[in-house]
Amino acid sequence: MKAKVVTGLLQTRADAERAVERIMSCGYRRDAISVVMGHAALGQHVESGTSAKAADTAMGGAGAAVVTFAALGTSAAFPGLGLVAAGPIEAALAGAGSAAGALVAAGIPEHRARVYETGLQQGAILVGVHAQSQRDAEILELILEYAGAENVRSDSALKRPYDSFI
């Protein structure tokens, strides 16, 4: 099975942290989970790893905002895109001209990347992971939905028979 990217937009740091913790409890390592946030999310004072000051400076010195990515440890700032990211998506962001372009390069369909770009500009936090199996993709979707994520999608996002119970 080709790895399926499962992604969702979370509105608060607490929701993003909860999602990452649950994903990790399913056996995914920190370096397999992508977290992306923009200028608007910096005001949420999300806790940080080693590059918080560098990210804050690169993002235009957004006050005393400290960036963290829910125990992901490292992060990189992309001031030209107005984003800070951790995880596998960092590589896609490095050469991108826009947030949507970077998300497409990371394996997210263009129409969904544009929705996520808008959400990031409005302060949402994008959490994503490459599922190791079809079953994992469905579980990851449920984890993100339970954590409060909006626009949860994967390449496998078919209507599940139990969706009406969630």
pLDDT value for 89: 84
Beta-carbon contacts of 34 under 8 Å, excluding residues fewer than 6 positions away, are 85, 86, 87, 88, 89, 90, 106, 126, 127, 128, 129
Task: Compute the average pLDDT of residues 131-137.
Answer: 90
- How many CB atoms neighbour CB 68 within 10 A? 24
| C-alpha dihedral sign at 90, 93, 99, 102 | negative
pLDDT value for 5: 85
Give the least confident one: 53-57, 65-69, 93-97, 123-127: 65-69
Q: How many separate helices (H) and strands (E) can be counted in the chain?
A: 7, 6
| C-alpha dihedral sign at 8, 115, 32, 136 | positive
Among the residues of 47-133, which ranges form H helices? 52-58, 89-94, 99-105, 110-121
Q: Is the CB of residue 147 less than 8 Å from the CB of residue 18?
A: yes
Q: For residue 12, give the 3-state DSSP assignment.
A: coil
- How many CB atoms neighbour CB 119 within 10 A? 23
pLDDT value for 108: 86
Task: Compute the average pLDDT of residues 1-28.
Answer: 88
Q: What is the DSSP letter of 84?
A: E
